[in-house]
């Protein structure tokens, strides 16, 4: 009994500082968020551009959203806003981009902000099988979706890696074990 | 595919919850360890998967606690009140202990 207690204390003291328990643990991993405009084809006369704000890096500041509606991802700590503008104005998008000339371009082209505060990444516990998350948005030219505060995406589709199946298998085996014990108890009565 | 975090989280949760079970129930440690393995092997992987859909730790923990109350009640052959006490304590401890090690 003493040996068992000592073993438990030893395991807790040695292992806990380096690994994670439960789902709240700060040992986290990054999951990519794929943000997508699912009704982009409703606006054939408009182009959508994703504009980043946040830490300055060598990345471009504004990128055009493709016909598939997938909003380009930027650096991890960058927040992204999406603007809609008439397609003919797209030719004026500066080739050499700075925050100032992009802001000026957006103002002069009459661009409408349709989504703000998009994040490209989130963190989940290391033990989570989640690998990617897709957030789908339905945009409206008369309204800005505040992705960081008030507006939930229209749908979220998490994607998982292979550990999902291993986790599910463990759960099913455990449930069978529990059912087996309970069934045996009843059978013995 | 990195399975270490999945199994590490499960292993530590099993150990922590077993200790809580033993402190409260104080009998038959081998049986309690088996129950801890089975209960946590059922709930822990599912909680991690659910976290991907809900991203709401408190809601997921609440569901885990309720499921564990039912399982503890059935396996330990104890009343729901005591099962609830064990489940709540075990899950609070398993959620808090890792933070203690990280911050201190």
B19 with A129: Cβ contact below 8 A: no
- The position carrying tokens 């911050």 is B103
Residue B102 predicted with pLDDT over 80: no
ipTM of the complex: 0.91
Task: Assess B2–A contact: CB distance below 8 Å, yes or no.
Answer: yes
- In A, which residues are within 8 Å of B57 by CB distance? 23-24
**Mean pLDDT of the residues in chain B:** 87
Q: Answer with the residue of higher pLDDT: A124 or B35.
A: B35
Provide, rounded to the nearest whole percent, the portion of chain B with pLDDT above 90. Answer: 59
Mean pLDDT across the stretch A28-43? Answer: 86
Residue A159 predicted with pLDDT over 60: yes
Determine which of B7, B41, B69 to mutate to test the interface with A (most A C-beta atoms within 10 Å). B41
pLDDT given at position B103? 59
CA distance A4 to B29: 9
State pLDDT tens for residues A106-142: 889 899 999 988 887 777 777 677 778 888 888 988 8
The residue of chain A nearest to residue B36, with distances taken between CA atoms, is A174
Total Cβ atoms within 10 A of residue A87: 11
Are the CB atoms for B95 and B102 separated by under 8 Å? no
A23 with B45: Cβ contact below 8 A: no
Task: Assess B94–A contact: CB distance below 8 Å, yes or no.
Answer: yes
State pLDDT tens for residues B41-83: 999 989 888 876 676 778 889 999 999 999 999 999 999 999 9
B29 with A127: Cβ contact below 8 A: no
As a whole number of Å, the end-to-end CA separation of chain A is 31
A22 with B47: Cβ contact below 8 A: yes
């Amino acid at each position: 009994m003493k040996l068992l207690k000592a073993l438990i204390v030893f395991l807790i003291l040695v292992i806990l500082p380096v690994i994670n328990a439960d789902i709240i643990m700060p040992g986290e991993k990054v999951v990519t968020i794929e943000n997508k405009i699912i009704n982009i084809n409703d606006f054939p006369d408009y182009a959508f551009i994703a504009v980043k704000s946040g830490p300055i890096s060598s990345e471009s500041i504004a990128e055009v959203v493709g016909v598939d509606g997938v909003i380009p991802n930027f650096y991890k700590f960058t927040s992204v806003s999406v603007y809609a503008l008439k397609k003919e104005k797209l030719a004026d998008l500066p080739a050499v981009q700075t925050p100032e000339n992009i802001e000026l371009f957006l103002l002069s082209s009459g661009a409408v902000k349709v989504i703000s505060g998009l994040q490209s990444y989130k963190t989940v516990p290391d033990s989570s099988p989640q690998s990617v998350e897709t957030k789908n948005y339905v945009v409206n030219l008369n309204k800005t979706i505040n992705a960081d505060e008030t507006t939930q995406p229209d749908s979220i589709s998490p994607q998982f890696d292979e550990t999902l199946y291993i986790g599910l298998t463990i759960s099913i085996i455990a449930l069978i074990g529990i059912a087996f014990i309970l069934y045996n108890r009843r059978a013995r009565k | 595919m990195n399975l270490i975090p999945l199994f590490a989280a499960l292993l530590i949760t099993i150990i922590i919850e077993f200790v809580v079970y033993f402190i409260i129930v104080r009998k038959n440690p081998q049986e309690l360890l088996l129950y801890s393995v089975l209960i946590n092997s059922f709930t822990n992987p599912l909680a991690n998967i659910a976290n991907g859909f809900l991203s709401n730790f408190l809601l997921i923990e609440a569901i885990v606690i309720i499921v564990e109350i039912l399982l503890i009640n059935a396996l330990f052959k104890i009343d729901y009140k005591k099962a609830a006490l064990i489940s709540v304590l075990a899950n609070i401890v398993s959620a808090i202990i890792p933070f203690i090690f990280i911050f201190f």
